[in-house]
Amino acid sequence: MRRYAVGGGCCTCASCDNFLLKNDFLEKKNKMTLIVIGVLAFVAIVVVIGMYNSLVQLRVRSESAWSDIDVQLKRRHDLIPNLVESVKGYAAHEKGTFEDIAKYRSLAMQASGPADKAQAEGQLSTALKSLFAVAENYPQLRASEQFTSLQGSLNSIEDNIQNARRYYNAVIRDLNTSVQSFPMNIIAGIFGVKARQFFETSGPEERENVAVKF
């Protein structure tokens, strides 16, 4: 029987073949292990990138939605002085009502963040309702073309605010759900993506649009 030198010794042909086969098997096993690890790492990276992109898209949408709300609120703030002036021409003695509107308008313009803005805008809405309650006592004012036009403009703005608020809150709901759900919360924590505040009114009476129709 032939013998082969292996590692300074010798072995039979059969044992040598077994040794070579075992080494070949181990090499293939190691290669397969590396391939599996590589595939799993690639899949994990793709999943992480996908979750991160999803969070980024929600964050961008939330910022865009908030910008839309901000634009509509600014339009509302810009309209209010003209509305007040039109009422003053018929009810100059309603000083308290005009002062309240000026105060709450200023607070609303200075407020920052959804929660603070929601509270300030709610107070402003209440003050505006008082203004239109005053206008109800003046038929000539209600018949004024200028006042009627301002009513229509405010109605349109109020509708736009409500639509923008609903869309913003829907986006924030999706963002917050993702940020608080596993495993997305891990990715959000790593990249600093946090839950955001809803833009909500504090009570049922503030959820109603300012009544400007007579």
Q: What is the pLDDT of residues 9-50, one digit of tens each?
A: 455 566 666 666 667 667 777 888 888 898 999 998 998 899
d(CA 68, CA 110): 17
Query: What pLDDT, on the 0 to 100 scale, is given for residue 17?
Result: 61
What domains appear along the chain, each with residue ranges and CATH number?
65-207 (1.20.1440.20)
Which residues, other chains included, contact 190 with Cβ-Cβ below 8 Å and sequence gap of 6+? none
**Residue 206 clears pLDDT 60, i.e. is over it:** no
d(CA 144, CA 88): 13
**Residue 3 clears pLDDT 50, i.e. is over it:** no
Query: What pLDDT, on the 0 to 100 scale, is given for residue 1?
Result: 45
Query: What pLDDT, on the 0 to 100 scale, is given for residue 6?
Result: 47
Which residues, other chains included, contact 191 with Cβ-Cβ below 8 Å and sequence gap of 6+? 52, 55
Distances (CA, A) of 19 to 2, 5, 10, 29: 16, 12, 12, 15
**pLDDT tens across 42-96, in order?**
998 998 899 999 999 999 999 999 999 999 999 999 999 999 999 988 887 888 9
Query: What pLDDT, on the 0 to 100 scale, is given for residue 33?
Result: 86
Q: Does residue 197 contact residue 168 with C-beta atoms inside 8 Å?
A: no
d(CA 117, CA 70): 10
Percentage of residues in the chain having pLDDT higher than 90: 55
The structure tokens listed for 46 are: 């793709």
Query: What pLDDT, on the 0 to 100 scale, is given for residue 83?
Result: 93
Burial zone of 65 (CB within 10 Å; 0-12 exposed, 13-18 middle, 19+ buried): buried
Query: What pLDDT, on the 0 to 100 scale, is given for residue 141?
Result: 87
**Residue 106 clears pLDDT 70, i.e. is over it:** yes
Global pTM value: 0.76
**Residue 4 clears pLDDT 50, i.e. is over it:** no
